[in-house]
Structure 1
Amino acid sequence: MSAAPEDILDVAIAGGGPAGLTLALALQHELGAALQVAVFDPALDLPVNDARASMIAADGRKLLRRLDVWPDGATPVAALRITDSRLDDAIRPTFLDLAGQADGEPFAHMAPDADLRATLRARAEEAGVSLIAEAIADHRAAPGMVRITLQSGAVRQARLLVAADGARSPTRARAGVAVHAFDYDQTALVATIGHSEPHRGVAVQHFLPGGPFAMLPLDENRSSLVWSERRAFADAMIAADDETFLAEVARRAGPDFGTLSLAGPRGHFPLRFMLAARFVAPRLTLVGDAGHVVHPLAGQGFNAGLRDIMALVRVVAEAARAGEDFGAPAALEVYERARRFDVAALAAATDGLYRLFARPAVRSLRDVGMGLVDRAPGLKRRIVAAASGI
């Protein structure tokens, strides 16, 4: 592929989070240094202080390893245990126990977002990706290219602009892409929790009346807490001191983890559903949270973004190798078709699960259903395969 003129980028990416950096690396890995890729984000020069962690499925793990950005602290998830109980139940029976491997490896790994982002940033610099710590203030599609105006007033041109700038993407809004969105009236409380007893690689998810409560295994006897609560109670927990916060975590985690401690900063974010009406616009594609946001109860949000990236890289690479314009409508429609059904199905499934477990009246029916699944090895293998992306 011939190099583009210095003033015309091949791909400009708005957003320097894990999705934007992974896309930049994947494009350069697939098409080589001749492809001019730039990532624009004012937060690129800021330290990362993120309490969240991501569950990485098998197909995403293959992509990250191929790009040589697999975090050192990634922890295998050997099993997922699901309970459905009231907060003060003395016993929480396991209704569904998912364990298995995908291609001979655990079906998922957990990695702290701060570690993942630092690894991606370092690798992007080594690979020659242009990292520009400035926001894109405006963009306008034109024949054969998109004109990009930076916050400083500088103007750049690119053949394709990718919105990887999060759930409230200003790039998507400027392009006039409509979204279907609503709030769950819940907040996710997140933290890294140390515990005296080992987790043995087991992820635990309790479906409680206030919302799903998950302890997901990390290295060094730590777990990633993702605790969904009704907004009013979550606000009280956000304001609470560490001792009170840990006492409420211990109440929900139960005795299996032993003595708990905070092993990092606490964080929180509102839970909402969002699905873009389209994943493309003139000279623009959406990836990751810019195109879809789902409830974290299934741990699939980051994996859906990685699948966006894999699909977009295929589209760009095939068009580029054929000498075609990968920013043209025909190429972008291929990406739209590749991702629409998968993302819509995931969004419907996660929203449906949330609503099923949010209704106390059907608790006995859903527990019977989970029990039946738990006793069906073939179905469980299919669920593990789907969760792993195989």
Structure 2
Amino acid sequence: MTQSYAFDGDVTVLGGGLAGQTLALALDQAGLSVALVDVLPFETQLEPEFDGRASALAYTSFRMLDALGAGTALRPHTQRIEDILVADGRAHGGSRPGGPGPFTLHFDRREIHPDADGEPLGWMAENRHIRQALSLTLQDRPGINLFAPARADRWERVPGGMHLHLADGRVLKSSVLAACDGRFSRSRRQDGIRSAGWSYGQKGIVATVEHEQPHNGVAYEYFLPGGPFAILPLPGNRASLVWTEKSGTADAIVKLDVSGFQRELDARFGDFLGSVKETGPRWAYPLGLTIAEQFCSDGIAYCGDAARGIHPLAGQGFNLGIRDAAALAETLAEAKRLGLDLGSRVTLRRYESWRKFDSLSLAAGTDLFNRLFSNDITPLRLARGVGMSVVDRIPAARKFFMRQAGGETGDLPRLLKGERLDAA
């Protein structure tokens, strides 16, 4: 008796978060048949309470969203990042801390994109707006088969491909299972793939604030003893805070009443943008490092946080997932064009080799920076401050770091260049 499948095609994407939706759009544009599975209805993911974070999108990431058709819907909700100012601590004076401290590192987008209307260093957008733009684009792609809400039970390797068994009994058959099911990926655990990592003993407090003075598209990253304190510009006189503290301190701050939270906020934010006040709810997320030993196995590719999770100080989390999507879509599109087995380890190892070095480099870099700067040891503080000042005086070094953060180093997939995968 022939088995009936709810889907029978090229790729099943497990996980409908930001990385999963982006991957589904890229695969569909590349001409592959796609199913997208998520445990939650997509409407739930669009509610403001679902995810209070905002993401810094590298300029290559936004090129890809434009190429996929999602950039048009997202752009009205974004803020260009024109400059990034990194400082070791803050200047002190008057009744409250002021702006950046004496050791700074300034990145100006005009050094790499000199045109007046050239690309910014990145774009800031609230995650709910990114989800909405991706979801609207997905709705215009009838070739993408959506299974949401649907809970995945297990996967199974079968001759010629993969079976994904859903909890309701339905079975999805595909050549490749693209696992985008998060840092604690059940798919990866079932596969027996180990991961390395550790907790930082820190949490990232996320909140949105309003301030009196315009931010002029400048993002600030202060390195304080408890961890990085990022002020990321949003549309209007608003900013998204990613405020790192030791876990116990973070939990206590999140539980404070409005006046207590305001005192803690003033002590760290300063008054260089005038008075500042919290708007909306607060969240706290535990921070750690996780990286999978393998990014693929027979029939399975791991993408987004299922491949690695890093500290948010460089703002690269979602960008790494976007780069995964670009590389995997191009790898599978080329394999299909050549008539190769999409799910073979030979095919998927090309994706792994394309993405693993970038991931390891960024994971090591963010880990080192967090450990180096999340303390108040005087000799170390002086040494790192001098190092920042030296880099700030070397234009070639500044340009290298800007292009690295922008995702414009190494062998770029076509989508990150802004090229459509269905283009002749």
Coarse TM-score class (shorter-chain normalised): over 0.9
The C-alpha deviation readout for 1:44-87, integer Å capped at 9, x for no partner, is 34243321011111111110011121212111111111111279
Contact 2:12 2:172 in 1 (8 A): no
- 3-state SS of 1:266 partner: strand
Are the counterparts in 2 of residues 222 and 263 from structure 1 also a CA contact under 8 Å? no
State the match for 1:121 in structure 2.
135
Q: Which residue of 1 aligns with 2:54?
A: 53
User: Structure 1 108/86 Cα, relative in aligned 2: closer, same or farther at 3 Å?
Assistant: closer
2:370 matched residue in structure 1: 354
Aligned partner letter, 2:222: H
- Alignment correspondent of 1:105: 119
- Is the CA contact (8 Å cut-off) linking 1:273 and 1:294 kept in structure 2? yes
Matching residue's letter, 2:33: Q
Say yes or no: does 1:288 pair with 2:297: no
Residues 251, 284 of structure 2: 8 Å contact kept: no
Partner residue, 1:377: 395
- Cα drift, residue 256 of structure 1: 1.5
Shift of residue 148 of structure 1?
A: 1.0
Alpha-carbon distance in structure 2 between the residues aligned to 1:137 and 1:67: 30
Does the CA-based 8 Å contact 1:51-1:264 persist in structure 2?
no
- Residue type matched to 2:173 in 1? Q
State the partner residue of 2:411: none
Distance 1:160 1:336, change over 3 A: same
The Cα shift of 1:94 comes to 4.9
Determine if contact 1:81/1:94 at 8 Å carries over to the other structure.
no
Tell me the CA shift for residue 241 of structure 1: 2.0
Query: 1:244 offset after TM fit, Å?
Result: 2.0
Instruction: Name whichever of 78-87 and 220-229 sits farther off.
Output: 78-87
Aligned to 2:182: 166
Q: Is the 8 A contact 1:78 1:107 kept in 2?
A: yes
Q: Distance in 2 between matches of 1:288 and 1:316?
A: 17
User: Contact 1:78–1:100 at 8 Å: present in 2 too?
Assistant: yes
Q: 1:143-164: per-residue Cα shift (whole Å, max 9, x none)?
A: 2111111121222211111111
Aligned mate of 1:84, from 82, 88, 103:
88
Spell out the pairing of 1:298-317 with structure 2 (5 A cutoff).
298-317=314-333
1:16–1:44 Cα contact (<8 Å) kept: no
Counterpart in the other structure of 2:351: 335
* Equivalence for 1:217: 233
Q: Is 2:309–2:317's contact at 8 Å kept on the other side of the alignment?
A: yes
Please name the residue that 1:142 is paired with.
158
Letter in 1 for 2:36: V
* Matched residue type, 1:167: R
Aligned residue in 1 for 2:33: 36
TM norm structure 2: 0.87
Task: Give distance in 1, aligned partners of 2:216 and 2:52.
Answer: 22
Alpha-carbon shift at residue 242 of structure 1 (Å): 3.0
Distance 2:103 2:216 in 1: 16
Task: Return the letter of the residue paired with 2:315.
Answer: G
C-alpha deviation, 1:250, in angstroms: 2.0
Residues 150-187 of structure 1, C-alpha deviation per residue, up to 9 Å, x if partnerless?
12122221111111111111121111111001100000
Q: Give the AA of the match of 2:376.
A: P
Counterpart secondary structure, 1:263: strand
Report the Cα offset of residue 355 of structure 1: 1.1
User: CA–CA distance in 2 between the matches of 1:167 and 1:88?
Assistant: 39
Where does structure 1 differ by over 3 angstroms across 4 or more consecutive aligned residues?
A: 86-91
Q: How far did residue 6 of structure 1 move? A: 7.0
Aligned residue for 1:12? 12
Residue 245 of structure 1: how far off its partner (Å): 1.9
Structure 1 window deviating more from structure 2 (176-185 vs 86-95): it is: 86-95
Q: Structure 1 residues 275-284 or 249-258, which shifts more?
A: 249-258
SS at match of 2:205: strand
Identity of aligned residues (%): 37
CA–CA distance in 2 between the matches of 1:186 and 1:238? 13
TM-score when scaled to structure 1? 0.94
1:264, distance to aligned residue in structure 2 (A) = 3.0
The residue that corresponds to 1:154 in the other structure is 170
Determine if contact 2:328/2:351 at 8 Å carries over to the other structure. yes
Q: Higher mean Cα deviation, 322-331 or 88-97?
A: 88-97
Q: Distance in 1 between matches of 2:18 and 2:281?
A: 19
Report the residue type matching 1:330 in the other structure: V
Note the residue ranges of structure 1 that are not aligned, 5 or more in a row: none
Amino acid at match of 2:56: M
Alpha-carbon distance in 1 for matches of 2:91, 2:243 = 13
Residue 324 (structure 1) aligned with residue 324 (structure 2): no
Show the counterpart of 1:230: 246
AA partner of residue 64 (structure 1): L
RMSD, aligned CA: 1.7
Structure 2 counterpart of 1:212, one-letter code: P
Q: Give 1:381 deviation, angstroms.
A: 1.3
Q: Which moved more, 1:40-49 or 1:284-293?
A: 40-49
Q: CA deviation at 1:259?
A: 2.3
Q: 1:11, 1:264 → 2: CA distance?
A: 39
The one-letter amino acid paired with 2:397 is: L
CA 1:94–1:86 in structure 2 vs 1: closer, same or farther (change >3 Å)?
A: closer
